[in-house]
């Protein structure tokens, strides 16, 4: 759980009482480590690593798009009060840098994508569950460094989560193997599935959105329609937060029979995607249904 409401209540109380930032920060002896993750997905993994020990919240609300996020003034306060910040890196949180540069922000930062091969400046490494295992190690080490007394808890939690993620990889591999090889082509709304597809032998033929947050050109759409027709693409995958009319129009022009929803930048937008693992299980089932 993200425990956002509890955090907000304590934050509002602190603001209402005019308390200095340090009075609610994680540095209070005996208080739990406050881990602030930038996205709900990172918070989902971090909550499992910190379970029973750390308080984990997400800076971005459920359903927000990390590529186009506009921080609220209250976000600055949360960054300053965090005991540990967990970010994806790989260019995802460009909006975070000015807040981290403030003199009042002093929490150590876990940059989860450090050490992984970033392809085409694409930040969506978390959608490969093997990369998520790397994220978990980075989170575990960050939490141990920020709260050494909790080392045994963080190690045990991370080991348990690592085993669940390894199991997830194996299940996804088995399910995707049921898709005939000639059908393993996706058209997506936004280009999130690069690393997942590389891991599991699928291909993203193209993305409707060229630049996150901006309308694609007519020429780009025409090229995509041609590509989809030539490859007999069976499904377009889009996210619930994006432009459904545009997706339906492209599917109709290209003769693509299925339009299906995938969840990739946020957990918690539907009951089936309450955390990282359930989100990828839901998405994998959707991909298999769409392409089979
Ligand atoms: Zn994205």
- 148 Cα–ligand 1 center, Å: 33
* Alpha carbon distances (Å) from 174 to 192, 225, 261, 281: 21, 30, 21, 12
**Cα 171 to ligand 1 centre (Å):** 24
CA 121 – ligand 1 centroid, Å? 12
In the block, which residue shows the tokens 């490859």? 231
Q: What is the CA(207)–ligand 1 centre distance, in A?
A: 12
pLDDT of residue 104: 84
CA 208 – ligand 1 centroid, Å? 13
pLDDT, position 21: 38
CA of 275 to the centre of ligand 1 (A): 17
Q: How far is the CA of 136 from the centre of ligand 1 (A)?
A: 20
pLDDT in the model for residue 13: 37
- Rounded to the nearest angstrom, the distance between the alpha carbon of 213 and the centre of ligand 1 is 10
Q: What is the mean pLDDT of the chain?
A: 90
Q: How far is the CA of 71 from the centre of ligand 1 (A)?
A: 17
125 touches 131 (CB < 8 A): yes
CA of residue 92 to ligand 1 center, whole Å: 8
C-alpha 93 to ligand 1 mean position (Å) = 11
Distance between Cα 258 and ligand 1 center (Å): 21
Distance 265 CA to ligand 1 centre (A): 5
- Per-residue pLDDT reduced to its tens digit, 120-178: 999 999 999 999 999 999 999 999 999 999 999 999 999 999 999 999 999 999 999 99
CA of 240 to the centre of ligand 1 (A): 12
pLDDT for the residue numbered 140: 98
Question: What is the whole-number distance in angstroms between the Cα of residue 124 and the centre of ligand 1?
Answer: 6
pLDDT confidence of residue 103:
76
Task: Give the integer Cα–Cα distance in Å for 291 and 71.
Answer: 37
Domains of the chain: 4-171 (3.40.50.1980), 179-291 (3.40.50.1980)
Q: The whole model's pTM is what?
A: 0.88
Low-confidence ranges of the chain (pLDDT < 70): 1-28
Task: Return the structure tokens found at 207.
Answer: 């993305």
Instruction: Give the per-residue pLDDT at 28.
Output: 61
DSSP per-residue codes, the chain? ---HHHHHHHHHHHHHHT--GGGGSTTSTTSPPEEEESSHHHHHHHHHHHTTT-EEEESSPTT--GGG----HHHHHHHHH-SEEEE--TTTTGGGHHHHTSTT----EEETTTTS---TT---GGGSHHHHHHHHHHHHHHHHHH-GGGHHHHHHHHHHHHHHHHHHHHHHHHHHTTS-GGG-EEEESSS--HHHHHHHT-EEEEES-SSTTSPPPHHHHHHHHHHHHHTT--EEEE-TTS-HHHHHHHHHHHT--EEEE---S-S-SSGGGSSHHHHHHHHHHHHHHHH-
Residue 31 CA to residue 53 CA, distance in Å, equals: 10
């Amino acid at each position: 759980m993200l425990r956002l409401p509890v955090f907000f209540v304590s934050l509002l109380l602190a603001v209402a009482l005019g308390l200095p930032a340090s009075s609610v920060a994680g540095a209070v002896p005996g208080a739990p480590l406050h881990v602030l993750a930038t996205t709900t997905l990172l918070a989902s993994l971090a909550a499992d690593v910190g379970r029973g020990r750390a308080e984990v919240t997400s800076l971005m609300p459920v359903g927000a798009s990390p590529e186009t996020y506009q921080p609220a003034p209250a976000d600055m306060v949360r960054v300053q009060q965090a005991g540990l910040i967990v970010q994806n890196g790989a260019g995802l949180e460009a909006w975070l840098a000015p807040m981290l540069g403030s003199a009042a922000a002093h929490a150590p930062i876990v940059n989860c994508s450090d050490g992984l091969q970033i392809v085409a400046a694409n930040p969506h490494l978390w959608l490969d569950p093997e990369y998520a295992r790397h994220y978990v190690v980075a989170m575990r080490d960050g939490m141990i460094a920020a709260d050494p007394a909790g080392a045994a808890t963080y190690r045990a939690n991370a080991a348990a989560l690592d085993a669940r993620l390894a199991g997830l990889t194996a299940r996804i591999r088995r399910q995707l193997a049921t898709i005939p090889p000639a059908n393993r082509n996706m058209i997506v709304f936004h280009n999130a599935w690069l690393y997942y597809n590389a891991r599991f032998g699928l291909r993203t033929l193209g993305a409707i959105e060229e630049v996150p947050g901006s309308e694609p050109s007519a020429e780009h759409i025409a090229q995509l329609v041609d590509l989809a027709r030539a490859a007999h693409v069976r499904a377009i995958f889009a996210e619930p937060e994006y432009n459904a009319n545009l997706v339906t129009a492209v599917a109709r022009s290209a003769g693509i029979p299925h339009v299906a929803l995938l969840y990739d930048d946020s957990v918690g937008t539907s009951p089936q995607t309450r955390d990282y693992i359930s989100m990828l299980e839901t998405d994998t089932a959707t991909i298999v249904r769409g392409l089979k």
